[in-house]
Amino acid sequence: MSREISLACARGTLTALRSGKAEGPKLLALHGWLDNAASFLPLLPHLGDFDVVALDLPGHGGSAHRLPGYDYVFVDWIHDVLDALDALGWSRANLLGHSMGGAIATLVAAAAPERVERLALIEALGPIAGIAEEAGTRLRQAATARRALDSNKSARVIADLQTAVDLRMAASQMSRDAACLIVARNLRPVADGFVWRSDPRLTLPTHVRTDESFIRSWIRAIEAPTLVVAADPAPPYFTPEARDQRIAELRHGRVEVIAGGHHLHMEQAELVAAVVVPFLRGAA
């Protein structure tokens, strides 16, 4: 159903899974934090009429990590996505993003509206907002964690796939089948088992989170028709109240709520596809 591709970009090679029809509408899919392109595998059978590229974001899956000494600054993801579009030769495309990938897609649509046809977001509309009163503590904690990271430390060896899946499920609430897909793409075989392919720097706290007023201004800059698919129950960082306030800032936007967990695009792919696919085809 899908094939592995590599994209030569300015800050390193990005890997991706490509599927569908080459002549179909262009669709770039962006996964969530510590996930990878495999998180879209359950949706791919429903996207057969599209030319789909599910990207491994930098530091995830098989894509290159940031250079030593650098961090994963949120606005930099904008250029990773634009670089991927350039490498594909796509002047304009639809964007499909889950969680962190949805937050990134939000910023791309605001920063480069001429590149985005339609915007489908799952469990996201912009990044997580910061609290001004916590900014000093966050900055201190992030700087301390960054300085303490030992890049020379040997990676933890995991005995087998099932152990790795157990570790992922302990950190994230999702079905075992969903975890297996993500974990299998995020493991590199070594002599005694496996190690994670994802960059350890991704687990560090961010130095800065943006104020809500800035995020809403970014959302107002989006020109593309936008669909937000939200899970019920909602996660604490994307409450219905916060979600609806942001959706109200969209020029052309609506929300569809589906009962399920945060990875509902994997666990309930058919229900998600039933609303996402018509939207991407141009339905209201």
pLDDT tens for 151-182 read 778 889 999 999 999 999 999 999 999 999 99
Cα gap 130→185, rounded to integer Å = 31
Cα gap 193→159, rounded to integer Å = 5
Model-wide pTM > 0.85: yes
- 116 in a domain, yes or no? yes
pLDDT score at 155: 86
Tell me 39's DSSP state.
G
Cα gap 37→16, rounded to integer Å = 6
Whether residue 218 is predicted with pLDDT greater than 90 in this model: the reply is yes
Whether residue 283 is predicted with pLDDT greater than 90 in this model: the reply is no
What is the per-residue burial (b if ≥16 Cβ within 10 Å, else e) of 134-169?
eeeebeeebeeeeeeeeeeeeeeebeeeeebbeebb
pLDDT score at 1: 82
Numbers of helices and strands, H then E, in the chain = 9, 10
pLDDT bucket at 284, cuts 50 / 70 / 90: low
- 172 in a domain, yes or no? no
Structural domain range at position 258: 2-127+135-147+200-280
For residues 248-266, give the mean pLDDT: 97
CA dihedral 132, 137, 143, 147 (to 10 degrees): -160
Tell me 24's DSSP state.
S
Q: Tell me what the pLDDT averaged over the chain comes to.
A: 96
- 24 in a domain, yes or no? yes
Catalytic-labelled residue, pool 2, 99, 151, 154? 99
Percentage of residues of the chain with pLDDT beyond 90: 95
- 183 in a domain, yes or no? no
pLDDT score at 197: 97
Burial class (CB in 10 A: 0-12, 13-18, 19+), 219: buried
For residues 192-214, give the mean pLDDT: 96
Which segments of 218-275 are extended strands (E)?
A: 226-232, 253-259
Q: What is the CATH number of the domain that holds 59?
A: 3.40.50.1820
For residues 206-217, give the mean pLDDT: 97
Whether residue 147 is predicted with pLDDT greater than 70 in this model: the reply is yes
Q: How many independent structural domains does the chain possess? A: 1
For residues 227-245, give the mean pLDDT: 95
- Our answer to whether residue 99 is catalytic in this structure is yes
- 43 in a domain, yes or no? yes
